[in-house]
Structure 1
Amino acid sequence: MDTMKELRPTARKYFQDIQVDEKLSPKKAPSLCSIRYGIAFITHLCNFVLVAQNVIMNITLVAMVNSTNHQSQFNDSTEGLPVDPFGDPNTSRKSLPAGGAGYGGQFALWERWSPPHERSRLCSIALSGMLLGSSIANLLGGIISQALGWPFAYYIFGGVGCVCCLPWFALVYDDPVTHPWINIIEKDYITSSLAQQVSSSKQSLPVKAMVRSLPLWSMCICCFGHQWLFNTMVIYTPTYISSVFNINIKDSGFLSALPFIIAWVFGILAGYLADFLLTKSFRLVTVRKIITVLGSVPSSLFLVVLPYVASNYITAVSLLTLCSGLSLLSQPGVYINALDIAPGHSSFLMGVSRAFAQISAILVPTISGFLLNQDPEFGWRNIFFLSCAVNTLGLIFYLIFGEADIQDWAKERKLTHL
């Protein structure tokens, strides 16, 4: 009897803990036909439009200036500028600032709409629209310009943008609480999932603490290294293929679009892979780092191997395509890490990391051009080895100092009254 009396409080506490856990772990809402996945799809379309319109601008740029010979001007214009899947679609002075604003602004949306265990896939679905915009614009831009004239490229893609605005205005709201048509189960699921996160959206930016934050610096440096690798691939590998095999890869719209189509597929799959790993009891920081490694190491290795397969055109193009595709595996890794370490400041932090990473867009052409001029024989090998080294160093820094816990400077500070 004494033993039973001792067990009763323990059993009572056990069942109380179960009830608490059930309250903290709300029943998951279906994803099919849900508002949160609808918003991800709408954001996917908006990202598609942002990038496609900027790519079209570059494709038609020469024809706009001098429209006397559409055929030759289109061929010149498509020698084009790099398309960046993580923000502004072109990293040159000709890119529009709207892409960067749209890239950073959408993270404020996911602060309030993405449950932690679905954040990777929702962000990946949304961001992958940039890759689809790049591939479709490269594939159809030249055809439209040659068949109908360059103004129709603007009419068509501009019209698509206007159409995409309609569901955005009708279906996208600041948060689940204010959405008029959301299912009560889904609303409770999202709000309960985010209840444990600390919001700092109403507080001023802790600039000094941010500057001293190693997790933030690791995110910026890793993004810089990864962007260096991707800019090298996009800017110089077509030129490399042309110089080695005497084949202009830009002459084929499909070959130009293929790396971005592959990257679009890998980008979406990476988000599901990240969330799958979370269901297997991996820590969030471990998942972010695993995904980032998968998006960095294989691409670096394939790029280094590229100069050694100069005798095989198909192998070289295949490696180029794999480099671009696999690099997007990092999308649900380091690129959305700001939502983990500072949810309330994620939009600002994504803008900062984006700006820091785009320094590589200035350095890559300058340094790569210098290497080619100094050593024409081994210049390509040096360019690819340098890209691999910069990307690897950024990855190592992130693996050492990267975190996924909300930082102290990002937590809500409550005022105390004396």
Structure 2
Amino acid sequence: MDELNQVQAHNLLGQKTQTPKRKDNALTRTLRSCCVIPQRYILGVMGLLGVCNAYTMRVCLNLAITQMVNHTKTGEEHIDPDACPDEEIIKNATIVLHPYAIFDWDEKTQGLILSGFYYGYAATQVPGGYLAEKFGGKWTLGVGLLSTALFTFLTPIVIRAGGAIWLFILRVLQGMGEGPTMPALMIMLARWVPPHERSFQGALVFGGAQIGNIFGSFMSGILLADGRDWAYVFYFFGGFGLLWFTLWSLLCYSTPNSHPYISKKELNYLNKNVTTAENSSAKDPVPWKGILRSASVWALVWAAVGHDWGYYTMVTDLPKYSHDVLKFDIKTTGTLTAMPYVAMWICSFLFGFVCDFCIKKGWHTIKTGRIIHTTIAATGPAICIILASYSGCDRVAAMVYFIISMALMGGFYSGMKVNALDLAPNYAGSLTSLVNTTSTFAGIVTPYLIGLLTPDSTLAQWRVAFWVCFAVLVGTNVVYCIWADGEQQWWDDVRKFGYPQGWKHGPLIPDKTEQPESVRLSSKKATEDVF
């Protein structure tokens, strides 16, 4: 313990030597005195807008593609006896013309294009987590989203020049730019947010996904209405991404100690209460041998797979279902597609507040809270999706079930989404990159599989796709309930916890920094966590 105390004393001494340097700058003193809002909340709001920005650029193609494809060219005509009446024909004597629907992509090709983003997204999760831990989350996240914004802005030019192949490649590149987003944000939240604030802050930041879906769907519907050029969608959201990057560069920093004008009161509070510490343990190699043998990690991976399967089914394919099956016009589709995400965003805050409140009151443990909210967010939507598919052409009932489904899915943000911060505050970025890389394969498989299951986009075919979604959501939740945990794991800080009994897989940190045998864990819990 003497060695650990020396490291902590060295860090405290380093912080003291950094503080006077900030006092010498008159501009810094002025900025600090003007900032009445705590900087961790500034980070939370900018993180929300960053995730919002990422999701608008991710999902804008989902609605735009319905106006890019000329459905009269996509093969032999298929007559669906259960087809819903076309809203455009009901409202108007003639069908709205779509002069910019110039591509003849079938459902399989569209599914492949929509899945292209997730190939790139999965490829840069682990490198993104490594870069964020090594160089800080600010620029890893900022530069990644900047590249995605530029690619989004160039999308219309690329499509018209190279068609489906070039669009698929561009979507892969966009996914690569967004890959570091979640690992970098997790690392920054681990440095900035105390444990008792994580459920609410997690709901705030990751609720940006719902804001992005709301804003992206609603604005896309308006921009595409009346047969307008779908290119406007990509220009608009690409420009939004460039604006966000400018604000992020000016306002946010990777750690509290690197922030030039954070108040002394908040800095002292964060250094005292944040679980992770900027000490030498953060410089150790990522303990992959411990991570990959942890039951709680694989429980989190399974929960993430279930979340992503259900979530991407809704995000990627709900616009197609609303437009192709329920036959809403494009403007109504954009508005109605946004409504489930409004419900999810609002409920994510409610779930986050309730979870934090119950933990603070001692009514249940962190582990129990994560399991309860993850179960609500998995089984509730699974049931509602099936009910929506059996509503047939009752548009009101179907959309109500979809809205309830996404509202309940808001529980994920106070459940498994912040669980990585509980398990590994020192390696939250690497753990999140592992979880996201694995679960992102659901984003790759889901659009393509739904394209195969719904070649004619009929109600009966979509019902099969929704039953598959039900099975994945419920099955993965069962795994999470059995092996989930809510405590910091021994491999996240070997100096503090030591090794569990029965550990035979070699050291996780350099030999000279290992703790003596006397401090190694011997608890039953630690032993059970090792495969």
Q: TM-score range by the shorter chain?
A: 0.7 to 0.9
Which amino acid counterpart does residue 183 of structure 1 have in structure 2? S
Paired position in structure 2 for 1:123: 202
**CA deviations over 1:90-140 (Å, ceiling 9, x no partner):** 9x8725122221122111101110010101111221112222122212222
2:402 corresponds to:
320
**What is the rounded CA distance, in whole Å, between the counterparts of 1:385 and 1:299 in structure 2?**
12
Which residue in the other structure is 1:36 paired with? 40
Map residues 12-91 of structure 1 onto 2, 5 A cutoff. Answer: 33-56=37-60, 71-73=98-100, 81=114
Residue of structure 2 aligned with 1:98, choices 172, 177, 184: 177
* 1:255 aligned onto 2:336: yes
Which consecutive residues of structure 1, in runs of 5 or more, have no partner in the other structure? 1-30
Q: Are 2:346 and 1:265 equivalent residues in the alignment?
A: yes
The partner residue of 1:395 within 470, 477, 485 is 477
1:344 aligns with 2:344: no
Q: What is the SS of the residue equivalent to 1:182?
A: coil
Residues 252-302 of structure 1: CA distance to partner in whole angstroms, max 9, x if unpaired? Answer: 321122222222222333322221222221211111111111211211111
- 1:405 deviates by 1.2
Q: Does the 8 Å contact 1:74/1:142 carry over to 2? A: no
Counterpart CA distance in 1 for 2:63 and 2:311 is 20
Q: Which residue of 1 aligns with 2:304?
A: 223
One of 269, 282, 291 as aligned partner of 1:189: 269
* 1:372–1:285 CA distance, 2 compared to 1 (3 A): same
Aligned match of 1:17: none
Offset of residue 165 of structure 1: 2.9
The structure-2 alpha-carbon separation of the partners of 1:210 and 1:37, relative to structure 1 and needing over 3 Å to count, comes to same
Counterpart of 1:206?
Answer: 287
d(CA) in 1 for partners of 2:437 and 2:293? 18
3-state SS of paired residue (1:331) = helix
Is contact 1:71–1:146 with CA below 8 Å preserved after alignment? no
Amino acid across the alignment from 1:38 = I
Distance 1:362 1:49, change over 3 A: closer
Q: Cα–Cα, structure 1 residues 403 and 262, in superposed 2: closer, same or farther, change >3 Å?
A: same
Change in Cα spacing, 1:349 to 1:74, as seen in structure 2 (3 Å) is farther
How far apart are the structure 1 equivalents of 2:318 and 2:65?
22
Letter in 2 for 1:157: F
User: What is the Cα deviation at residue 341 of structure 1?
Assistant: 0.7
Q: In structure 1, what is the Cα distance between the partners aligned to 2:471 and 2:325? A: 23
Report the counterpart of residue 405 of structure 1 in structure 2. 487
Partner of 1:233: 314
> In the alignment, does 2:455 pair up with 1:362?
no
1:313 Cα shift?
Answer: 2.1
Aligned match of 1:167: 247
1:12 aligned partner: none
Whether the 8 Å CA contact 2:213–2:341 is kept in 1: the answer is yes
C-alpha distance in 1 between matches for 2:253 and 2:333: 41
- Alpha-carbon contact 2:210-2:342 (below 8 Å) kept: yes
User: Does the CA-based 8 Å contact 1:206-1:409 persist in structure 2?
Assistant: yes
Instruction: Return the alpha-carbon distance in structure 2 between the equivalents of residues 234 and 194 of structure 1.
Output: 34
| Structure 2 partner of 1:11 | none
Aligned residue identity for 1:115: P
SS of the aligned residue for 1:363 comes to helix
Superposition TM-score, scaled by structure 2 size: 0.62
Rounded to whole Å, the distance in 2 between the matches of 1:366 and 1:38 is 38
In structure 2, the partner of 1:18 is: none
Write the distance in 1 (CA, Å) between the matches of 2:200 and 2:218: 26
Cα distance in 1 for partners of 2:393, 2:68 equals: 39
2-structure distance, mates of 1:164, 1:410: 33
Structure 1 pair 197–239 and aligned structure 2 pair: CA distance change class (3 A)? same
Q: Does 1:138 align with 2:217?
A: yes
- Quote the Cα distance in structure 2 between the aligned partners of 1:206 and 1:342: 10
Contact 1:249 1:256 in 2 (8 A): no
Q: 1:378 to 1:348 in 2, by over 3 A?
A: same
CA contact 2:62–2:319 (8 Å) conserved in 1: no
The answer as to whether partners of 2:63 and 2:334 remain within 8 angstroms in 1 is: no
Instruction: Select 2:382's aligned residue among 285, 297, 300.
Output: 300
Contact residue 115 and residue 193 of structure 1 kept, 8 A:
yes
Which shifted more, 45-54 or 343-352? 45-54
Distance across 1 between alignment mates of 2:185 and 2:425 = 12
Could you state the TM-score of these two structures normalised by the residue count of structure 1? 0.78
One-letter amino acid matched to 1:167: L
CA displacement at 1:167 relative to structure 2: 3.5
Which segment is superposed worse, 336-345 or 236-245?
236-245
Aligned residue for 1:343, secondary structure, equals coil
Change over 3 Å in CA distance of 1:149–1:196 after alignment to 2: closer
C-alpha distance in structure 2 between counterparts of 1:144 and 1:381, whole Å: 30
Which residue identity does 1:140 align to in structure 2? M
For residues 295 and 380 of structure 2, the distance between their equivalents in structure 1, rounded to whole angstroms, comes to: 26
C-alpha deviations, 1:32-72, integer Å up to 9, x for none?
A: 82111111001111222222233345656799999xx9944
Q: 1:71 & 1:243 partners in 2: Cα distance?
A: 15
Deviations 1:216-242 (A, max 9, x none): 100001111222222333445555556
1:390-409 Cα deviation digits (max 9, x unpaired): 21121111111111111111
User: Corresponding residue for 1:19?
Assistant: none
| 8 Å contact from structure 1 (residues 104, 350) kept in 2 | yes
CA–CA distance in structure 1, aligned partners of residues 465 and 319 of structure 2: 14
CA distance in structure 2 between the partners assigned to 1:195 and 1:343 by the alignment: 7
Whole-Å separation in 2 of the counterparts to 1:158 and 1:74: 21
Q: Which runs of 4+ in 1 moved over 6 A?
A: 61-66, 74-77, 87-90, 196-199
Letter in 2 for 1:275: D
Deviation sequence 1:345-382 (CA, Å, 0-9, x none): 111211111121122223334554555579x8865444
Distance 1:361 1:270 in 2: 25
399-408 or 96-105: which moved more? 96-105
Tell me what 2:191 maps to.
Answer: 112
Equivalent residues of 1:238, 1:248 under 8 A apart: no
Instruction: Select between 51-60 and 211-220 the one with higher mean Cα deviation.
Output: 51-60
| 2:253 alignment partner, SS class | coil
